[in-house]
Structure 1
């Protein structure tokens, strides 16, 4: 419009060279029995799961690139759709040769752990509508997705395959609405504050990509800023340490993926009304995908989560807190079907049979009182990308 108003002599607007812009739009319907997930999904289901994203990258110089993604995400009470920056960083490559590549990213960088975390926001790349929740929690997605800080990365190309290393040091994101309830089993008047943390991943991929192995480590630190006299809690610290082992085999028409996570958490110095506590939990899943026809794919997965491996059935936790024992574990048997209608448009459907409520949102299921141990989740998803 501005060009037209200035007459025929105006110069047309041109995008910078080496600039790429992409986007995606995803809409899902979820229906559950017994418990809510991403909205009021029990009575008739809900369409309150939506992702709208725009990302771009600009190669400023051969060794410097700018990348970012803006996202609006609705996910029931756990995400309200407010636009935000998922990631945005400068990527400088300071060594690049035939065998090696080393670089540094500065800004809001993606947390490198497991197979799917740094690509979890694009439905076309996820292996399913919902990622395996034993490793990739969706109720606190922002905390897991990215951090504000620096990331060192390196690659070594060999005849037998490729080695890749990523190490991030920064501040975790704590804007998830459900995060305080996840940490304290309820809402508190104070607020959580990020503290310096790190995430690292060492990966090996065989020549041809048929075998992939990863070792990921996380040390996440959060502090609690007490609200003063009206707060029963004192200033304290929440620490979370995770170790993830990942393996994948890729054949022509099928692939098999397994991941195991050991998760240790501790809450310290919150005062007499919240005694110090610690726990070590674990989770794992086994997933298979089969491309049985052009543009069609079937998925099956068994996913297990235990918040405390010394109290797998949650009985001791229930006796201590009065909360349901089944809130301390979840076992999920899932089946899915994918149809790539076109290269840009995809349809998916998924069915989950679940024992336990270990990865439910506290906001959508307050106190998890009245939740059902055995429940099902059915979902249909449509996604478009450009």
Structure 2
């Protein structure tokens, strides 16, 4: 993809974003409309030992920040619009460019005390696990870095947070159970050039697109949300084309199982994801490579609210490229010269959050990690020699 084409696309996104924001702000000036405008900004710092994460963090990295502004307008009792522009810089994983994070028209078909149903269209949020829909703002995350289920350092945010498409949703209360459903169909769309290099490494020019994808989520909230159980599913297909008639198709399936218990002072959360990949390459129409991969990850997390302003957090997190080879020994035997430690990651994290008022927040967390599966190879060129490493992450955020 040429730089000129990339620039044109970026300019087009900015123009559409400016028009959308201007329209919402202009519409909000009418006294009959109910509108809201909010924004956030957060600056992070990472200091790691042995390996780099979000920039040159072994020397201390400020190359981690995020900011956004969003607006919502209620034009009719059952029709609303919402849009957000955002920037995020996270080392090699994100480049800090302005993007349209989401832009949604929401039409509520049914709104009663015990039953709700509606339809959304535009660039919609995908319902995956407990945190994908709220991962954009640090105030709505349990920590600075999300668990490996959400692949924060593999640039999954821009790939699965939102997508152009249509979404149906609904909910029904039955006794102490509040059952909700969300189903989304995403249209085929291009992968940003800055993201392509993190997914595919080739010495020839190529273009990567996400084919039609879909996801659904079923959730049961019991006793006012004291207990929550959810199942999420995502299916998508990446399609790659090159100038040398090398064609790739990469099918991805995610199954996410989520459970949470909320008490007055503490919350316990656990999630587990099964990831299945079916990768195929053809050259000049002939099969060239067929590879299957079965990854998984999961975590157990506890949050304790000391006071309305202070929260403590602890988490045990594990990620494996192959759930049938958790030690990586089979992979290393089949790929001489490749370290088995690149196939797994065990992360123990403790953290604290201070909210002095409704606008400001301060986060601190320390990670002790065994394995290098969650590292970006472009930030840590192989061979990576340090299996055990650690990092301190700090972040200060403001919202209005």
Q: TM-score, normalised by structure 2?
A: 0.87
Compute the displacement of 1:134 (Å): 3.1
Q: Which residue of 1 aligns with 2:21?
A: none
1:250 aligns with 2:262: yes
1:268 aligns with 2:280: yes
Q: Assess, with a 3 A threshold, how the Cα gap between structure 1 residues 151 and 347 changes in structure 2: closer, same or farther.
A: same
For 1:134-160, what per-residue CA distance to the aligned partner results, in whole angstroms no more than 9, with x for missing partners? 344343110021111111111112321
Compute the displacement of 1:50 (Å): 0.5
Q: Which residue of 2 aligns with 1:126?
A: 141
1:94 aligns with 2:109: yes
Runs of 4+ in 1 over 6 A off after TM superposition: none
Compute the displacement of 1:176 (Å): 6.9
Question: Secondary structure in 1 aligned to 2:140?
Answer: coil
Q: Which residue of 2 aligns with 1:373?
A: 387
Mapping 1:120-269, distance limit 5 Å: 120-140=135-155, 141-171=157-187, 174-175=191-192, 177-182=194-199, 184=200, 189-228=205-244, 234-269=246-281
* Distance of 2:254 and 2:27 partners within structure 1: 48
Q: Which residue of 1 aligns with 2:42?
A: 26
1:305 aligns with 2:319: yes
Compute the displacement of 1:317 (Å): 2.3
* Distance of 1:372 and 1:56 partners within structure 2: 45
Compute the displacement of 1:173 (Å): 6.1
Q: Assess, with a 3 A threshold, how the Cα gap between structure 1 residues 13 and 312 changes in structure 2: closer, same or farther.
A: closer
For 1:216-266, what per-residue CA distance to the aligned partner results, in whole angstroms no more than 9, with x for missing partners? 00101111112226xxxx212001101111000000000100001111011
CA contact (8 A) 2:28 2:35 kept: no
Bigger drift between 93-102 and 195-204 goes to 93-102
For 1:285-338, what per-residue CA distance to the aligned partner results, in whole angstroms no more than 9, with x for missing partners? 000000123311100000001110122122232343433211111100000011
* Distance of 1:134 and 1:13 partners within structure 2: 39
Q: TM-score, normalised by structure 1?
A: 0.90
Number of equivalent positions: 368
Q: Which residue of 2 aligns with 1:350?
A: 365
1:294 aligns with 2:311: no
1:110 aligned to 121, 125, 129, which one? 125
Compute the displacement of 1:369 (Å): 2.0
Q: Assess, with a 3 A threshold, how the Cα gap between structure 1 residues 330 and 270 changes in structure 2: closer, same or farther.
A: farther
Q: Assess, with a 3 A threshold, how the Cα gap between structure 1 residues 78 and 187 changes in structure 2: closer, same or farther.
A: farther
Q: Which residue of 1 aligns with 2:23?
A: none
CA contact (8 A) 1:143 1:173 kept: no
> Structure 2, unaligned stretches of length 5 or more?
1-25
Higher helix share: 2
Compute the displacement of 1:189 (Å): 2.5
Bigger drift between 269-278 and 288-297 goes to 269-278
CA contact (8 A) 1:28 1:379 kept: yes
CA contact (8 A) 1:348 1:382 kept: yes
* Distance of 1:144 and 1:61 partners within structure 2: 30
* Distance of 1:35 and 1:380 partners within structure 2: 17
* Distance of 1:176 and 1:376 partners within structure 2: 31
RMSD: 2.0
For 1:328-376, what per-residue CA distance to the aligned partner results, in whole angstroms no more than 9, with x for missing partners? 111000000111111110111000000111121232223x323521110
Bigger drift between 169-178 and 115-124 goes to 169-178
